[in-house]
């Protein structure tokens, strides 16, 4: 049984998918904290509906990144998670935060990395004209959307797609991909060899 702390900034559909998988007995995990950096995130209401008290740590209320992260780290220390699960968390993490949870912070990104890191990945994919895109669950390191890859899922990019239709197709795959990644991390031994995550 792995302990998960969820960090989010938005509507929280990946968080809800993880919760649903736990409830359905498909993922042996426990959500021990939900933290949002945005007081208006839809994920907070979602969290309360699902029975978790969400912590709001509004980054705008702190003098700088270090002070904001110190408060998030304090909550994480209390919750004692095995993994810090970024689920639409739109803040860059400092090197010292990453070091505190080295190879224990996961993120989901709506492209097949290393293509299209950063913001608006789906719009970047359309503008580039790729025929296949998808999503990536990876460990977080100091690079932007750059750490070792745990799971990827691909979707076609169709001629009629705009950012919204491609985002919806990718999001459907994100939910399964995040659950699959956490299943792998909870159930199997793994090593990280350079950039490769190897499961035994």
From 55, 68, 109, 138, active-site residue: 109
Q: Does 176 bind ligand GAR (CB under 6 A)?
A: no
Residue (23 or 80) nearer to ligand GAR, CB = 23
Could you give the 3-state DSSP secondary structure of residue 58?
Answer: coil
Runs of H (alpha helix) within 109-187: 121-128, 163-187
Considering only 22, 108, 113, 125, the residue that binds ligand GAR (CB under 6 A) is 108
How does 80-114 read in b/e, with b if 16+ C-beta sit within 10 Å? Answer: ebbbbbbbbbebebeeebbebbeebbbbbbbbbbe
Tell me the site size for ligand GAR, rule CB under 6 A: 15
Assign residue 169 a region: left if phi > 0, alpha if psi is -120 to 50, beta otherwise? alpha
Taking residues 85 to 104 in sequence order and writing x for each that binds ligand GAR by CB under 6 A, - otherwise, the string is: --xx----------------
Strands of the sheet containing 54-56, edge to edge, are 54-56, 29-36, 2-8, 83-86, 105-109, 132-139, 149-156, 196-199, 190-193
Distance of CA 119 to CAs 32, 89, 92, 130, Å?
A: 28, 12, 11, 17
Q: Does 113 bind ligand GAR (CB under 6 A)?
A: no
5-13, 21-29, 48-56, 95-103 -> range binding ligand GAR (CB under 6 A): 5-13
Considering only 19, 38, 68, 109, the residue that binds ligand GAR (CB under 6 A) is 109
Q: Does 8 bind ligand GAR (CB under 6 A)?
A: yes
Positions in 34-63 near ligand GAR (CB under 6 A): 43
Nearest-10 crossing angle of helices 121-128, 163-187 = 120
Taking residues 9 to 28 in sequence order and writing x for each that binds ligand GAR by CB under 6 A, - otherwise, the string is: -xxxxx--------------
Q: Has 109 been annotated as catalytic?
A: yes
Nearest approach in angstroms of CB 34 to ligand GAR is 12
Residue (76 or 113) nearer to ligand GAR, CB = 113
Q: What is the C-alpha separation between 124 and 110, in angstroms, rounded? A: 10
Q: Would you tell me which residues interact with ligand GAR (CB under 6 A)? A: 8, 10-14, 43, 87-88, 108-110, 121, 171, 174
Catalytic residues: 109
């Amino acid at each position: 049984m792995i302990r998960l702390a969820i960090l989010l900034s938005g509507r929280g559909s990946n968080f809800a998918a993880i919760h649903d998988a736990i409830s359905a007995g498909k993922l042996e995990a426990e959500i021990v904290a939900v933290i949002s950096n945005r007081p208006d995130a839809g994920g907070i209401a979602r969290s309360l509906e699902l029975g978790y008290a969400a912590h709001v740590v509004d980054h705008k209320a702190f003098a700088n990144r270090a002070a904001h992260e110190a408060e998030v780290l304090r909550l994480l220390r209390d919750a004692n998670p095995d993994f810090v699960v970024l689920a639409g968390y739109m803040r860059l993490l400092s090197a010292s935060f990453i070091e505190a949870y080295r190879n224990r912070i996961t993120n989901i990104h709506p492209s097949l990395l290393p293509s299209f890191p950063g913001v608006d990945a789906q719009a970047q994919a359309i503008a580039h004209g790729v025929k296949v895109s998808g999503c990536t669950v990876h460990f977080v390191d100091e690079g932007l959307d750059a750490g070792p890859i745990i799971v990827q899922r691909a979707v076609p990019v169709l001629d009629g797609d705009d950012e919204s239709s491609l985002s919806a197709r990718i999001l459907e795959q994100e939910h399964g991909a995040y659950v699959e990644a956490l299943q792998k991390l909870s159930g199997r031994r793994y090593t990280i060899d350079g950039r490769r995550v190897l499961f035994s």
